[in-house]
Structure 1
Amino acid sequence: MIARRSLRWPGAAIPALALLALSACLAPAHADAPVQAPAAVIPAHEAPGLKTAVFAGGCYWGMEAVFSHLKGVTSVVSGFEGGRAADADYETVSTGTTGHAESIRVTYDPARIRYDQLLQVFFGVASDPTQLNRQEPDEGPQYRNALVPIGPEQARVARAYLAQLKALKLWKRPIVTRIEPWRGFYPGPAEHQDFAFRNPRHPYILRWDVARVEALQRTFPQWWKPDFTRN
């Protein structure tokens, strides 16, 4: 089997051996189907003006692809949360020893889509909240599933919605999503930004992320937009 990280070559040709491995080695990692995550019992009450949210849910390529197709989202940046600025580079984070998680920073207009509605998308189609320290073929703590509230209102809503979902037991396995303290966000390499838009035929995107975007359109049509929000 090809090593996990060797399956992602941004901006480079894909070795033939890896192409063969895609179908032979990358069976879903116990992934559940997309879920119609319910509306939050406790909605967010956000002041007017653009807001920022951070989510960690596996490879940031797919997370970025999903959130970039949401109405009301004005920017999605792929990067890292949870560790020190000095270690926040792609290769070092990929060792799984820095405390970072691959994540996205979403800028949104709460007049069009609120934080609790972003949570619906995160849990419903953007990630599988039952996978511990992994997401699909990617393994390690840098692929953990986490909410990173910025400010007391996001923290209040995140705690309430996570408790709501755990009580409903919509997934076959327990939710392992963590709520982590805000410790800063560090953008990833330029070649990783807008990755799905710039590399729609990349094997990783085709295998794992196209289905997520399709699930967004199907599951949450009220927030779907066909255009990709580019940075």
Structure 2
Amino acid sequence: MFIDKQSPIPMYHQIMENLKKQIEDGTLAPDTLIPSEREYAERFGISRMTVRQALSNLVNEGYLYRQKGKGTFVSRKKFEQPLQGLTSFSEDMRQRGLKASSQLIDFKKTACPEHLLPVLQLSNSDAVFELKRIRLANDEPMAIETSYIPERFAGDLTKKHLTGSLYEYIETHTGHVIAHAKQELEANVASKEEANLLSISAGDPVLSITRTTFFQQDIPFEYVVSVYRGDRYKLIHTMER
């Protein structure tokens, strides 16, 4: 890394660009411990405040992360999740060349929660399958997913069907085509339970996503609440004028 003190470009910005380049070209691998503020300051003969500004900006941009008492580390590259298109988690990971898997936390047939009756167009007598899973990519936890599926669409759904794509099973079983979904996103922080399941710390940022998925003719067949790790996901949306 080289810092040009005569350049009109601020030194903190030069440090940022140098570190970004090393991270993006793989010179600094994910989870690598980088030198401390003091070490950088002594190496380049600059103030620790300048180094601190550069590293703090890179933490805010997601290139670095801090662990209390341990230091500053290189972040893993985030998954870019396009907001266009409708795929299951398994289908999405497969397209990325990753192995999707799930850890089942809860699986039961139960009465539909009252607040979901109008969402899923059900009556009080209708049952739903409720399933809660940790979704993993190459064995790394990515999200907690809680799904509610009306019994009439789930058929003989068992735990063995959850090892693959649930959407593929639903389409094959019902003969319906999954058409579209309505999705809401919210920034949040991880609870202690969520942090434990996702291998992160309580209070870390997460993306909370609720989605209602429909067959053709606007028939709702699924309501799902997902909590994604904020350090591993970023959402991409392309807009055209």
TM-score range, shorter chain: under 0.3
Structure number with the bigger relative contact order (C-alpha 8 A, sep ≥ 6) is 1
TM-score norm. by structure 1 comes to 0.25
When Rg is computed on C-alpha atoms for both structures, the one with the higher figure is 2
Identify the structure with the greater helix proportion.
1
* Greater percentage in strand: 2
